[in-house]
Amino acid sequence: MKILVAEDDAVSRLVLTTSLKKIGYEDVIQTENGREAWSVFEQGHVPILISDWMMPDINGLELSQRIRSAGRTRYTYIILLTVLGGKESYLEGMDAGADDFMTKPFDKDQLGSRLRVAERVLALQEEVRQLEGLLPICMYCKKIRDEKEQWSQIEQYIDARTDASFSHSICPECYDTEVIPELEQMRRETRE
């Protein structure tokens, strides 16, 4: 699972990334600040973000708020790391949109446990998305209407919301009712 790390301190970023790889997360994207992390987020789906709270430019709270206000259909689980402790900081982080909160220095085993929770939450989110997936589809052109009342091709709709990819084929029924008559028509036209 892809994890985006936003940490302005180079040593902390290296320790965190190394710990994530030891836990078993190979797809780790490192950024030096919130602005870089936001740029990565804008380019595609990021399942998990681990962000330092205090960073120049865009801090972890603002990054969390931006992600939550982006209105994406696929969820990003956010863990804030900080030297700040206490109930007030915890509540402020949660109010900003974080899902979890860890104080520095973090414990690698505890981080691993929290990431397993993140994976369970993301899996449940995906299952809910699929269950909510009753799709209004045009009976003629097979376009799908999305939550913004926009119509698009089924491939575009699914590509924007899942990791599924398409390969096209022809079912036996369509082969008999569509392809064979087209081939026969082409043969007749070629003879004429």
> Per residue in 42-97, pLDDT tens?
999 999 999 998 998 899 999 999 999 998 888 999 999 988 777 888 888 888 89
Q: Which residue has the tokens 């104080």?
A: 103
Nearest residue to 49 (alpha-carbon basis) of 85, 96, 109: 96
Neighbouring C-beta atoms of residue 129, cutoff 10 Å: 14
Q: Per mean pLDDT, which of 13-27, 122-136, 169-183 is the most reliable?
A: 13-27
If phi > 0 it is left, if psi is from -120 to 50 it is alpha, else beta; for residue 25 that is: beta
Interval 119-155: pLDDT, tens:
999 999 888 777 666 778 888 888 888 878 889 888 8
In our burial notation (b when 16+ CB lie closer than 10 A, e otherwise), range 110-126 reads: ebeebbeebeeebeebb
In our burial notation (b when 16+ CB lie closer than 10 A, e otherwise), range 53-77 reads: bebeebbbbbbbbbbeeeeeebbbb
Domains recognised in the chain with CATH numbers: 3-131 (3.40.50.2300), 144-191 (no CATH)
pLDDT for position 111: 94
What is the distance between the alpha carbons of residues 144 and 152, in angstroms, rounded to a whole number? Answer: 5
pLDDT for position 104: 87
Q: 45 near 74, Cβ under 8 Å?
A: yes
Longest dimension (CA), the chain: 86
